[in-house]
């Protein structure tokens, strides 16, 4: 795991921008942006378009109601003919006079239907005030109004002549001018053309289906965005209240807005590259799986937070019968490709979703494998999700990979580092900025500590057996004793964790993120002491550490350290 302060802000503005983008897209689909909508007119680039009618043998049975009286007609052509004769309204000249296009034509029709203007209005030569410019006139006034389906392009083609088209004809051309509108007369086209048209129609249909899918997706994202915006406007007090009052604050109750930011951070490839390139981490998992292949043979495995799917593929290689890989981040789409690329799709099923929300294709699993560890082990609280999965799906004698972990502390002494981090603010280009110290010192720092900077033994302050522990245990407080191994000045306390895969295993595997071992991408966590503590060799430092989820953001931690009676509060966010 990895978690960078900068990548996950409590307000996922990044996600919101994405959501707004989708919002615009969704408007396009709805229709204000015509280039998104497949243009059926493109089908008609030559004659012979009557195939369209073959595919749609039954034109809509609507009647066209006159624009200026109640009379109905079988076709729009008949209706306009009536308008011309009885109301002195010639649609052809109206279209030209008002320079109507598809949109303004529709608006005009709805305007007439709604506002019932006098027909005289349309006779006024040079009238440029078109009262139907409001978008509201795009909304049909009469249901299934046949007049709206009339294609005014045919008028421009027919150049002032009388009406040539009927509403059902798509792209009819001059050759067929004399076809009686709406007639059931058969037409013949060359087979090649027929197939070409059919495949264009099919493509258009696919396009529509795809757009509908996108629309649906956008609507879902809009819903999320609404929740999100609500949470920003009304900060997640309710949830925070729960978390504070109940010790079992878990990721399930975490507001959706925070998790959007969390999961979008994991959608970026860089974070996965860093984790995969961490050989201590990745090779430990591989060794744990491959050297205990006997446990994996024929097992059903759940990979919680599969990322790129690497752990699932280890499990499949080790002989798992079935692996279910779950991740909420968009990286799962890559995981799906990766699984296929390695021809493991018959074993590995990749599911996108939060492990708290997905349903699995199996009732129980034999093994849960997950790389959930955050800085200082518990930062980002992904373990809550793993324990949730365990309680829901792991068989009673199933395995957790890993199964044991511990958090430890040690004393660090490096006066020049302390000076760089804290002392710096007391003299910045000859100015004092000491108010910065109280902010800077409160933040735990993720940094690699040099081996030589370690000044004491290390003390385990928390052990977790993943097979049995509960979410409540993840908030804890613990006493510790550290013995200085040399004379010097303690400038910080370092925190790190150890991971073990050993329960009921023939070949135990473990790794450590301590400063004494090969550095990992977790580095170490440093809690700087405002006032360093001088110690003699063999002197004992007494302390207490308390680790709590931040009630305001359950993925962050509040750490309180007391060292030789002095207390310091730290945040990790
Ligand atoms: C530290 S990464 C590990 C990725 C991969 N297993 C590996 O080892 O390279 C953790 C992954 O878990 C996912 N994750 C965290 N909490 C989750 C949850 N509650 N449901 C689904 N996925 C989750 C994150 O999106 C992220 O991709
Ligand atoms: C302290 O940290 C600095 C800077 O990282 C490093 O160069 C130095 O070797 C460390 N140790 C001591 C004893 O100063
Ligand atoms: C540390 O935080 C606790 C509450 O979490 C508070 O009661 C205490 O006063 C704080 N101590 C310092 C030194 O800021």
Query: For ligand 1, is residue 323 a contact (CB within 6 Å)?
Result: no
d(CA 190, CA 572): 72
Which of 339, 370, 401 is the last residue before a domain boundary? 401
Q: Is residue 220 part of a domain?
A: no
Q: Give nearest CA residue, ligand 2 atom 13.
A: 414
Distance 51 CA to ligand 2 centre (A): 82
Within-domain flag for 65: yes
CATH number of the domain bearing residue 421: 2.70.160.11
Which ligand is in closest contact with the Cα of 547?
3
CA of residue 569 to ligand 3 center, whole Å: 6
State the ligand closest to the CA atom of 274: 1
| Domain identity same for 430 and 548 | yes
Closest CA to 275 of 240, 310, 314: 310
Q: End-to-end CA distance of the chain, in Å? A: 15
What pLDDT was estimated at residue 541? 97
**Would you call 189 helix, strand, or coil by DSSP?**
coil
Query: Which ligand neighbours the alpha carbon of 488 most closely?
Result: 2
What is the CA 491 to chain-centroid distance, rounded? 42
Overall pTM surpassing 0.75 (yes/no): no
Structural domain includes residue 244: no
Cα of 3 vs centre of ligand 1, distance in Å, is 11
Instruction: Using the atom order of ligand 3, give the atom closest to the CA of residue 569.
Output: 1
Residues 396 and 450 in one domain: no
Pocket around ligand 2: residues whose beta carbon is below 6 Å from it? 414, 416-417, 450, 452-453
User: Which residue has the CA at smallest separation from atom 2 of ligand 3?
Assistant: 569
Domain identity same for 347 and 198? no
Instruction: Please name the helix (run of DSSP H) or strand (run of DSSP E) that holds residue 521, with its range, or none.
Output: none
Ligand 2 site-directed mutation target among 412, 413, 414, most atoms within 8 Å of CB: 414
Ligand 3 pocket: which of 475, 569, 572 to mutate (most atoms <8 Å of CB)?
Answer: 569
Domain co-membership, 278 together with 203? no
Domain encompassing residue 498:
404-572
**372 alpha carbon – ligand 1 mean position (Å):** 7
The verdict on residue 376 lying in a domain is yes
Query: Are 205 and 329 within one domain?
Result: no
In a shared domain, residues 448 and 354: no
Compute the half-sphere exposure of residue 8: CA atoms within 13 Å on the CB side of its CA.
25
Whole-number pLDDT of residue 168? 41
Residue nearest to atom 14 of ligand 2 (CA): 414
Ligand 1 neighbourhood includes 499 CB (under 6 angstroms): no
Identify the pLDDT of residue 228. Answer: 62
Which of 265, 325, 328, 391 should be mutated for ligand 1, with most atoms under 8 A from CB? 328
**Cα–Cα distance measured from residue 227 to residue 332, given in angstroms and rounded to the nearest whole number:** 24
Look at residue 221 and tell me if it is in a domain: no
d(CA 325, CA 309): 7
Residue 223 resides in a domain? no
The pLDDT assigned to 120 comes to: 84
Q: Is there a single domain that holds both residue 127 and residue 33?
A: yes
Residue nearest to atom 9 of ligand 2 (CA): 450
- Whether 15 and 228 have beta carbons less than 8 Å apart is answered as yes
Select from 377, 366, 269, 259 the least CA-distant residue to 321: 366
Ligand 2 closest atom vs CA 415: 14
Q: Domain boundary residue among 386, 401, 416? A: 401
Task: List average pLDDT for each run of 10 residues in the chain, which is 573 residues long.
Answer: 40 30 30 37 42 42 83 88 88 86 89 89 65 86 87 61 40 43 67 78 83 78 68 46 38 60 92 97 98 97 98 98 97 97 97 97 98 96 97 98 98 97 95 95 96 97 98 97 97 98 95 97 97 96 97 93 96 91
Residues 443 and 397 in one domain: no
230: phi > 0 → left, psi -120 to 50 → alpha, else beta; which?
alpha
Q: Do 45 and 194 reside in the same domain of the chain?
A: yes
Q: Among the atoms of ligand 1, which is closest to the Cα of residue 251?
A: 19
Of all protein residues, whose CA lies closest to atom 4 belonging to ligand 1? 307
Q: What pLDDT, on a 0 to 100 scale, did the predictor assign at position 211?
A: 86
Ligand 3 centroid – CA 177 distance (Å): 88
**Ligand with minimal distance to 420 CA:** 2
CA distance 42 to 2: 51
Which positions are annotated as active-site residues? Answer: 371, 380
Q: Quick one: 193 and 274 in the same domain?
A: no
| Residue 237: inside a domain | no
What is the Cα–Cα distance from 328 to 415, expressed in whole angstroms?
A: 43
Rounded Cα gap, residues 101 and 95, in angstroms: 8
Minimum-distance ligand 3 atom for the alpha carbon of 558: 5
Q: What is the pLDDT of residue 204?
A: 85
323 shares a domain with 281? yes
493, two tokens = 């306390």
- The reply to whether ligand 1 has any atom less than 6 angstroms from the CB of 385 is yes
Residues 417 and 340 in one domain: no
Q: How many domains does the chain have?
A: 3
Distance CA 532, CA 543 (A): 14
């Amino acid at each position: 795991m990895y978690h960078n302060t900068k990548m996950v802000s409590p307000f996922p503005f990044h996600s919101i921008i994405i959501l707004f983008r989708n919002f615009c897209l969704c408007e396009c689909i709805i229709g204000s942006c015509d280039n998104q909508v497949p243009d059926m007119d493109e089908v008609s680039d030559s004659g012979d378009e009557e195939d369209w009618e073959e595919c749609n043998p039954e034109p809509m049975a609507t009647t066209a109601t006159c624009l200026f009286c109640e009379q109905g007609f079988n076709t729009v052509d008949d209706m306009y003919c009536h308008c011309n004769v009885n109301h002195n309204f010639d649609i052809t000249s109206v279209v030209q006079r008002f320079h109507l296009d598809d949109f303004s034509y529709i608006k005009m029709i709805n305007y007439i239907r709604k506002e019932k203007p006098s027909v005289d209005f349309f006779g006024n030569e040079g009238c440029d005030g078109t009262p139907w410019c409001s978008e509201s006139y795009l909304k049909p006034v009469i249901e299934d109004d046949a007049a709206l389906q009339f294609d005014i392009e045919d008028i421009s083609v027919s150049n002032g002549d009388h009406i040539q088209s009927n509403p059902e004809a798509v792209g009819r051309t001059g050759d067929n001018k004399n076809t009686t509108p709406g007639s059931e007369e058969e037409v013949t086209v060359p087979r090649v053309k027929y197939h070409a048209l059919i495949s264009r129609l099919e493509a258009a249909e696919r396009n529509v289906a795809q757009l509908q899918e996108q629309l649906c997706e956008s609507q879902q994202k809009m819903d999320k965005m609404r929740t999100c915006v609500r949470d920003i406007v009304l900060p997640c007090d309710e949830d925070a209240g729960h978390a504070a009052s109940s010790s079992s604050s878990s990721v399930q109750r975490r507001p959706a807005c925070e998790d959007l930011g969390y999961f979008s951070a994991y959608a970026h490839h860089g974070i996965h590259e860093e984790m995969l390139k961490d050989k201590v981490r990745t090779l430990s998992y591989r060794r744990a799986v491959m050297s205990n292949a006997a446990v994996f043979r024929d097992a059903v495995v759940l990979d919680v937070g599969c990322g790129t799917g690497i752990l699932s593929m280890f499990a499949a290689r080790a002989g798992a019968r079935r692996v279910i890989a779950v991740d909420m981040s968009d990286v799962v789409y890559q995981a799906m490709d990766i699984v296929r690329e390695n021809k493991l799709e018959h074993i590995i099923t990749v599911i996108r979703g939060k492990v708290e929300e997905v349903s699995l294709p199996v009732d129980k699993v034999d093994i849960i494998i997950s790389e959930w560890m955050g800085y200082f082990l518990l930062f980002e609280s992904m373990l809550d999700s793993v324990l949730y999965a365990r309680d829901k799906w792991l068989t009673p004698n199933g395995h957790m990979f890993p199964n044991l972990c511990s958090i430890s502390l040690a004393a660090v002494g490096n006066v020049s580092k302390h000076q760089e981090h804290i002392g710096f603010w007391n003299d910045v280009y000859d100015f004092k900025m000491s108010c910065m110290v109280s902010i800077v010192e409160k933040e735990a720092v993720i940094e690699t500590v040099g081996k030589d900077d370690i000044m004491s033994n290390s003390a385990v302050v928390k052990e977790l057996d993943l097979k049995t522990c509960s979410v409540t245990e993840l908030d804890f407080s613990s006493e510790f004793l550290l013995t200085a191994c040399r004379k010097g000045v303690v400038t910080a306390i370092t925190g790190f964790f150890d991971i073990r895969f050993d329960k009921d295993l023939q070949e135990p595997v473990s790794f450590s993120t301590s400063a004494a071992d090969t550095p990992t991408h977790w580095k170490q966590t440093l809690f700087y002491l405002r006032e360093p503590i001088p110690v003699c060799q063999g002197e004992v430092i007494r302390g207490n550490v308390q680790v709590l989820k931040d009630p305001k953001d359950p993925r962050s931690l509040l750490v309180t350290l007391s060292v030789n009676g002095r207390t310091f509060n730290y945040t990790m966010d």
